[in-house]
Amino acid sequence: MKIPDPSQAHWRKSTHSGANEGECVEIAELNDHVGIRDSKNPAAPQLTITRQDFATLLTHLKR
């Protein structure tokens, strides 16, 4: 499956980013992948990983 162009994706800020606009992360659903980027610098390169790897990442971060 082709990964959609991240520049055309609907990015949303993490609910865990906090209200002070400090360390903010945005994610976008890209078919069977997830895009991750820094909300303060959306033009910078983003990380694109599979949904399974994203779930694994979240599991490790919650520990």
The DSSP secondary-structure symbol of 44 reads S
In tens digits, the chain (63 residues) has pLDDT values of 576 677 778 899 877 666 666 668 899 999 899 999 988 888 889 999 999 999 999 999 888
Residue 52 lies in a domain: yes
Provide the residue range defining the domain that includes 36.
Answer: 6-62
Residue 1 lies in a domain: no
Q: Are 23 and 17 in contact (CB under 8 A)?
A: yes
Residue 24 lies in a domain: yes
Give CA separation, 29 vs 22, 40, 50, 52, in Å: 23, 19, 10, 13
What is the per-residue pLDDT across 19-28, written as a single tens digit (0 to 9) for each?
666 668 899 9
